[in-house]
Amino acid sequence: MKTFEALNWLHERGVRTGPYSLDRINHILEELNNPHHDYASVLIGGTNGKGSVTAITESIMACCPDYLSGSLTSPHLVDIRERIKIMGKPLADKFWADGVTQLQEVFKLMEKESSIGPASFFEAVTALAFWAFKEAEIDLAILEVGLGGRFDATNSSSPEISVITNIGTDHQEYLGEGKLSIAREKLGIIRKNRPLITGEKSPEILEIFAEECKKRNSPLIIARPGQNFELLESRPDGHLIKTAFAPEPLFVALPGDHQLENLAIALELVMQLRKNGFAVPDEAISQGITAVRWAGRLQWIPGTPAILLDGAHNAEGLETLVTYLQKFPPAPPLNIIFGGLKGKPLPEMASRLSQFGAKLCFVPPQASRSLSKQEFDATFADQKWQWFDSFAEALEFCRNDASTILITGSLYLISDALKHLNKNVRTRN
């Protein structure tokens, strides 16, 4: 099988539908001889920041000479192969082709069993990652939860450490209304007698965490900036910090105050891995901190005009972006391209953004849950946002008189933007 055939087959898998459980993913893994039992793992969930915590942890572990680590993240921005990495590098094409060959045999049998039903895209990619990690003989899998926790396919793993970065209000249609319901769903990723690390601040949510951890005899570890590093200076492109892991200050190229919270969580996770027997040297921690990058999150693309990309796809993410714009005002005039999906508080998010922009452009991301023009007209009737059918049209409209262009909202829009910008760079070269 050729790699492109394998990737196309994965893309053809459907979206997961209810009733929700771990039955399908557990069945797939059993048919694959339970590859996820052959290595240690950590499981990282939460509403916002779980991708950044995964990226930081992955970067540090990739600098460890004595261990082979793998990571699973979602969603991808440009290429599905971004989702699975070994030592910080995309999984080799051979694993994608061979892994899909293995999955196809399992899926043929599943589709004949009405009690099981066809597996989804995310279940297929998760199973492939677990299988590939065994084939590569990794020591540690760093797993980012896709959605929720209790019934997410990644929760079929047996993490020795679980992380819940924070609790927000995203995906209430799947996880229940309100933060308390969402918190209980996400708490499904913790294990008996194994620690839970969190950066959550709400006393009410932390009380629920403490109650659940007590039931499971699981230590609750609250990570805060300053515990493993000292902030020296924040800049538009990142932070200068002082740590015990290096004699000189380190620069973290992850902009935004929220990344200090994510860094604190990731470092606490690494400290727990040390306690569990992973000999992670100081040099690996310092090298990993300075090497980490996370595309599409407060990512600056230099040029005239400069472009700032940020996947602020929910209310909490948008507030993080607003805090950054207030602290580091981009060169005016700032033109904004925004797009989001149904089910998000788009009018409220757009209203918060409008105070910063000269031109306000709304673009429907290339996704099935995008707003239609009719829905946009109805929900944005009292706002100054202008509809554009495509990202290319909006970008052309914004380029002429902008010093800075902000592209934000759904990660699908960020994906559209990166594909367009990368294509144009290749064309010019």
Residues 42, 224, 45: CA angle, nearest 5 degrees: 30
How far apart are the C-alpha atoms of 300 and 296, rounded to whole Å?
9
- Kindly report the pTM of this predicted structure: 0.94
* Structure tokens that stand for 385 in this block: 């946002």
Q: How many CB atoms lie within 10 A of CB 244?
A: 11
Q: Is the peptide bond before 333 cis (omega within 30 degrees of 0)?
A: yes
Question: Residue for token digits 């998760």?
Answer: 126
* pLDDT of 425 strictly over 60: no
pLDDT of residue 110: 84
The domains located in the chain, with CATH, are 3-291 (3.40.1190.10), 299-428 (3.90.190.20)
Q: What is the rounded average pLDDT for all residues in the chain? A: 93
Q: How many CB atoms lie within 10 A of CB 26?
A: 14
* pLDDT of 426 strictly over 80: no
The pLDDT-based confidence of 172 (bands split at 50, 70, 90) is very low
Per-residue model confidence as pLDDT tens digits over 29-68: 999 999 999 999 999 999 899 999 999 999 999 999 999 9
DSSP readout, 280-312?
--HHHHHHHHHH---TTSSEEE-SSSEEEEE--
Instruction: Label the pairing between strands 238-243 and 229-235.
Output: antiparallel
How far apart are the C-alpha atoms of 244 and 104, rounded to whole Å?
49
pLDDT of residue 424: 58
Find, among 8, 24, 272, 281, the residue nearest to 142 by Cα.
272
DSSP readout, 221-257?
EE--TTSSEEEEEEETTEEEEEETT-SS-EEE---ST
Helix, strand, or coil (residue 114): coil
How far apart are the C-alpha atoms of 74 and 281, rounded to whole Å?
28
pLDDT of residue 418: 96
Per-residue model confidence as pLDDT tens digits over 286-338: 999 999 999 999 999 999 999 999 999 899 899 999 999 999 999 999 999 99
Helix, strand, or coil (residue 68): coil
Question: Residue for token digits 């799947």?
Answer: 174
How far apart are the C-alpha atoms of 335 and 401, rounded to whole Å?
8
Find, among 383, 293, 225, 243, the residue nearest to 62 by Cα.
293
The helix/strand count (H/E) of the chain reads as: 15, 17
The pLDDT-based confidence of 178 (bands split at 50, 70, 90) is low
How far apart are the C-alpha atoms of 172 and 166, rounded to whole Å?
15
Find, among 68, 26, 70, 76, the residue nearest to 51 by Cα.
76
In the chain, % of residues over pLDDT 70: 95
Per-residue model confidence as pLDDT tens digits over 93-149: 999 999 999 999 999 888 777 677 788 999 999 999 999 999 999 999 999 999 889
* pLDDT of 427 strictly over 60: no
User: Identity (one letter) of the amino acid at 183?
Assistant: A
pLDDT of residue 18: 67
* Structure tokens that stand for 260 in this block: 């200090």
pLDDT of residue 112: 75
User: Identity (one letter) of the amino acid at 370?
Assistant: S
C-alpha distances (whole Å) from 195 to each of 46, 158, 222, 414 are 15, 12, 10, 34
C-alpha distances (whole Å) from 237 to each of 176, 328, 409 are 36, 10, 20
Backbone torsions φ then ψ of 130, nearest 5 degrees: -60, -40
Find, among 369, 283, 300, 305, the residue nearest to 65 by Cα.
283
